[in-house]
Amino acid sequence: MTALSVRDIGISFGGVKAVDSVSFDVEEGSIFSIIGPNGAGKTTLFNLISGVYLPKAGTVSLFGEDVTGVAPNRLVARGLSRTFQNLQIFFRMTVAENVMVGRHLKEARGIVPHLLSLPSVVRQNRDSRTEAIRLLDRIGLAGRADDLAANLPYGELKRLEIARALATEPKILLLDEPAAGCNPKETEDIERLIEAIAADGVTVVLVEHDMRLVMRISNRLHVLDYGKTLASGTAEDVRTNPEVIKAYLGTHGAEEAARARR
Amino acid sequence: MAEFLQFAFSGLTVGAVYALVAIGFTLIYNASDVVNFAQGEFVMIGGMATVFIMAAGVPMPLAAGGAIVIAVAVGLLLHRLAIEPARGADAVTLIIITIGASIFLRSAASIVFDKQFHTLPPFTGETPIVIGGAAILPQSLWVLGGGVVIVTILWAFLTHTILGKAILATAANRLAAKLVGINTSYVVGLSFAVSAAIGAIAGILVSPVTLTRYDVGTLLALKGFAAAMVGGMGSPIGAIVGGLLIGLLEAFGAGYISSDYKDAIAFLVILAVLFFMPTGLFGRASVERV
Amino acid sequence: MGRLFNHPLAAPALIALIVIACGFGLGSNFYLRVAALVWISALAAIGLNLLMGFAGQVSLGHAGFFGIGAYAVAVGPNVLPVSPLLALVLGIALAAVIAYLVGRPILKLKGHYLAVATLGFGILVYMVLSNESGLTGGPDGMPVSRATLFGWRLKGVDTWYWITGGVLVVGAWVAVNLVRSPTGRALRALHDSEVAARVVGVDVARYKLVAFVVSAVYTALAGGLLALFNGFITPDVAGFMHSIEFVVMVVLGGMGSIVGSLVGAAILIALPQALSAFQEYEHLALGLILMVFMIFLRKGIVPSLVALAGRGR
């Protein structure tokens, strides 16, 4: 079944069409990557899908239901969560608390029991923490659960964002450059993590610049350039598409590449 | 009609002072992100220092010049001793520092000067000019004219001198300004000096109309801040429009509705404006970048 | 040591100890009176801290809620068949409703725009209180009738010392509970990154409103207590300078520190008393102390000291 369907979506900022009539479908349980040169509109596309921006045109559907313009916090209830290219960590909270916020919709949210710290709230805090520790264990950060998030190095914060998103128990997870700024070892960890997430049946939509990572793990790819769709298909389709090569290497580079192949 | 004109003129007079305070806010905010709640104290210093220098027998123009020099010195000291050492602190921490400065300056003024109301002689007589049945004090024209002159000079300074351009560049992008070799700390100090001078001149212009005392700065800072926000924080045009708007609203509100609630009317309109335009009349809506 | 600091009951227990120690240690009625005023202000400061320090939303108009609570106690028994204590409850409810209605539109504003909108709200409350002299006695203020509890007249400085101290301890306990609950995590999360809070399911607008209403309730309760304790109030309790004082208490003591709010309140209430010997230099010193503290302990007194102690270990 189609988990995520984007139809003719578009938005412009100050007359510039940041995303222009983009359409694609993502099969449930697959890893779908969106690639393209810097400024191609990948993050903007994520912001449109996750409800952070309101699209000027087009529709977004989750599992066949139209969710265009639905607020991000409501999309979480429908099974969509995401991470950010520029870290959006709760720096004043501990590592465990960061993940516990991800349990928000799974927790009873009546204010009066919270004010009085009723036994049910104490129990729930304990449950949320247990789940948070389990997820931290999965990304190798259980040992730092009670450290202030601000004290973690960059690579670990990248993984912390993934753990926080996983805590919402998403059916679709949007990962915005999870390996950016990571060393080869960390990139490998993230690759394995993404594959494990997909193996659990979660649909992963990925924006990533590390082409080796993308080509290895993606079921399908979608290439953007200047906000428009340039190509779409499997890793092999995209790799050999002359338009894509031209966009990445420039016209001159594309000729070189073509000569080299001959 | 005469009544309307009367209210309009008194509104514009007070509004011009609010606008000048708001411009002072805007200058400092643009250069440093600091909301300077001691801005009203510059206005107070302008008026009070002129009064007391004159009392020592100095002719008015010289006394006014002296008052401006004092205000500028206070502005520079405020920057050097309180703002500069706290560089990089949270916005709200910086606000508390300027509030502390405001309390300090107010109290210092009550000690150095006194706690009485004072007035300055009008620059050019007290015979009201009658226009369309409305009586206008010549001093009101001085306030309005002075406001126009200050804004014009400021505009020329910002757009036609190297120093002014440095201020604009720092306002636009502090890091980039630093990278091209602008001493941004110097620019922030300069913005404090210019704001202090503008505030002091406003205080000298308006004291003959509204009286002055050691504590007039608080309410002026509040109204000036409100004016800057209604206009859109950081926008000089917004500061002028916001200041005049609040002045007019107060005058018309006091005249036609209830003088008890003139401040309330002004703030109700501010709330309404922000409700429909959350970044003020001339503020830029920013797109959340994530 | 660190474990002890982090215990949920650490802050309320510490505050309870301070209240008890001062209750037995402060000999004269004068000092007990000052201490009771500190407890009342600290309660309001804790409320504002929930909004500013935890949820990250500024309010320059919280004295408005303080005034609503205070005047509800003063005016209520004159116009309705209610006792002063019931009027206090009604006043708190009124403050909550007003906070809800006002908060809905203005909490959409950010930063300085929110500051000016809350400032406007505070001034509106102040204007109503000082202009409707038929009800409120106008700028000169009005007397407040004595409260009775089960036939017992609540009077005397030591009685009110223990009432205000007790309410403060309960208030601190409730605040800590809130901070450590899912609601508190949502508030702290939206402080750091609204967008990240939203994409994990936090309804940011709702939680800002929750923080605003809860903090209004704290502040109105404090206002009502002051009216009952003092027996007389003026509109200045709702004035702009009083709003600023609350903000200063929160920031000076430390945003996000419950104990800090008590320290901030103590400094702002006790300092003028201590400086009153110097009369006209009182405000001069106050302004100077504010600047010096904020320049050198910019995170606020309590968090800065805790950080220093941590480094020393």
Q: Measure CB to CB from residue C185 to each of A76, A81, A97 and give the nearest one.
A: A97
User: Is C47 in the A-facing interface, judged by CB distances under 8 Å?
Assistant: no
Q: Which helix (H) or strand (E) holds B209?
A: helix B184-210
Q: Is residue C69 part of a domain?
A: yes
Neighbours of B, requiring at least 3 CB pairs below 8 Å, are A, C
Asked whether residue A5 carries a pLDDT value surpassing 60, the answer given is yes
Task: Please check the confidence at residue A202 and state whether its pLDDT lies above 90.
Answer: yes
Beta bridge mates, A57: A10
CB contact under 8 A, C113 and B229: yes
The per-residue pLDDT for C249 is 92
Rounded distance between C-alpha atoms, residue B127 and residue B143, angstroms:
16
Residue A254 has pLDDT above 60, yes or no: no
Mutation pick from C92, C199, C299 vs chain A, by most beta carbons of A within 10 Å, is C199
Residues of A in contact with C5 (CB under 8 A): none
ipTM score of complex = 0.89
C195 touches chain A (CB under 8 A): yes
Please indicate if any CB of chain A lies within 8 Å of the CB of B90: no
For B88, nearest residue in chain C (alpha carbons): C298
CB contact under 8 A, B104 and C123: no
CB spacing of B289 vs A52 below 8 angstroms: no
Q: What is the pLDDT of residue B65?
A: 95
Q: What class is the A2-261 domain?
A: alpha beta
pTM of the predicted model, to two decimals? Answer: 0.90
Q: Is residue C220 part of a domain?
A: yes
How many contacts does B have with C, using Cβ atoms within 8 A? 126
- Residue B108 near residue C288, CB atoms below 8 Å: no
Nearest beta carbon to residue C200 from set A81, A121, A124: A81
Cβ atoms of B217 and B105 within 8 Å: the answer is yes
- Type of residue found at C198: R
The distance from CA C272 to its chain's CA centroid, rounded to whole angstroms, is: 18
Q: At what angle do helices C63-79 and C240-253 cross, to 10 degrees?
A: 130
Q: Is the pLDDT of residue A248 over 80?
A: no
Query: In C, which residues are within 8 Å of A103 by CB distance?
Result: 182
Residue C20, φ and ψ in degrees, nearest 5? -65, -45
Take residue B114 and report the two structure tokens written for it. Answer: 């006194």
Distance of CA B206 to the CA centre of its chain: 12
- Chain B CB contacts of C105 under 8 Å are 271, 275
CA distance A237 to chain B (A): 31
Average pLDDT over chain C, rounded to an integer? 89
Higher-confidence residue of C274 and C38: namely: C38
What is each CA distance from A194 to A103, A197, A199, A213, B121, in whole angstroms? 20, 5, 8, 10, 78
Q: Is residue C242 part of a domain?
A: no
On whether any CB of chain A is under 8 Å from the CB of C139, the answer is no
Q: What is the DSSP string of C7-32?
A: STTHHHHHHHHHHHHHHHH--SHHHH
- Judge: A86–B288 Cβ closer than 8 Å, yes or no: no
Q: Quick check: A229 and A34 in contact, CB under 8 A?
A: no
Instruction: Decide if pLDDT at C1 tops 50.
Output: no
Tally of domains within chain C: 1
C115-144 average pLDDT score: 89
pLDDT digits (tens, 9 = 90+) for C54-95: 999 989 999 999 999 999 999 988 888 888 889 999 999 999
Which of A198, A196, A200, A217 lies closest to A208, judged by CA?
A: A217
Q: Kindly report the CA angle at A86 between A80 and A90, in degrees rounded to 5?
A: 75
Parallel, antiparallel, or unpaired for β A228-233 and A57-62? unpaired
Domain locations in chain B as residue ranges: 24-215, 216-281
Residues of A with Cβ-Cβ distance to C185 under 8 angstroms = 93, 97, 100-101, 104
C292-306 residues labelled b (16+ CB within 10 A) or e (exposed): ebbbebbbbbbbbbb
Neighbours of B167 (CB within 10 A): 23
The mean per-residue pLDDT over the stretch C228-241 comes to 92
CA B164/CA B154 separation, integer angstroms: 9
Taking the C-alpha atoms of residue A104 and residue C200, their distance in angstroms, rounded to an integer, is 7
> What pLDDT sits at residue B280?
79
Asked if C247 lies within 8 A of B92 by C-beta distance, the reply is yes
Provide the pairing of β-strand A31-35 with A203-207: parallel
**pLDDT tens, residue order, chain B (290 aa):** 788 888 898 899 999 999 999 999 899 988 888 889 899 999 999 999 999 999 999 999 999 999 999 999 999 999 999 999 988 887 778 888 998 999 999 999 999 998 899 988 888 878 888 887 888 888 888 999 999 999 999 989 888 998 888 888 888 888 888 888 888 888 899 999 999 999 999 999 999 988 899 989 888 888 888 888 888 888 888 899 999 999 999 899 888 887 778 778 778 878 888 888 887 788 766 655 66
CA nearest to C202, candidates C213, C215, C190: C190
Question: In terms of DSSP H, where are the helices of C132-257?
Answer: 133-136, 157-179, 182-192, 194-198, 204-230, 240-253
Give the model confidence (pLDDT) of C254-266 as tens digits. Answer: 989 999 999 999 9
Considering only A13-22, B167-176, C144-153, which range has the smallest mean pLDDT? C144-153
Q: Is residue C143 part of a domain?
A: yes
pLDDT digit string, tens, across residues A77-119: 999 999 998 899 999 999 999 999 999 999 988 899 999 999 9
A181 in Cβ contact with A8 (< 8 Å): no
- Structural contact between residues C60 and C192, judged by C-beta atoms closer than 8 angstroms: no
Chain C positions with Cβ closer than 8 Å to B: 52, 58, 105-106, 108-113, 115-117, 119-121, 123-124, 127-128, 131, 195, 240-241, 244, 247-248, 251-252, 255, 280-284, 286-291, 294-295, 298
Residue C254: left (phi > 0), alpha (psi -120 to 50), or beta?
left
What pLDDT shows up at residue C308?
82
- Looking at chain A, the whole-number percentage of residues with pLDDT higher than 90 is 62
Here the tokens at position C181 are 């609950």
For residue C235, which residues of chain B lie inside 8 Å, CB to CB?
A: none
Kindly report which listed range (B65-74, B132-141, C31-40, C192-201) carries the lowest average pLDDT score.
B132-141
Q: Which chains touch C (3 or more CB pairs under 8 A)?
A: A, B
Mean pLDDT of A196-200: 93
Share of chain C above pLDDT 70, in %: 97
Tell me the one-letter amino acid at A53.
Y
pLDDT cut 90: percent of chain C above it: 57
Among C115-124, C182-191, C302-311, the range with the most confident prediction by mean pLDDT is C182-191
Q: How far apart are CA B124 and CA B77, in angstroms?
A: 34
Give the model's pLDDT for residue B38: 93
For residue C131, give how far its alpha carbon lies from the nearest alpha carbon of chain A (Å).
37
Nearest to A125 among C180, C193, C202 (CB): C180
How many secondary structure helices (H) and strands (E) does chain C include? 15, 4
Rounded CA gap, C261 and C258, in Å? 5
Res C101 pLDDT > 90: yes
Task: Give the pLDDT confidence score for residue C210 in this predicted structure.
Answer: 96
Which of these, C278, C274, C237, C259, lies nearest to C31 by C-alpha position?
Answer: C274
- For chain C, say whether B110 makes contact (Cβ under 8 Å): yes
Q: A217: number of CA atoms within 13 Å, CB side?
A: 29
Query: Which chain C residue has the Cα nearest residue B37?
Result: C244
DSSP class of residue A148 equals: B
The whole-angstrom distance between residue A258's C-alpha and the CA centroid of its chain comes to 33
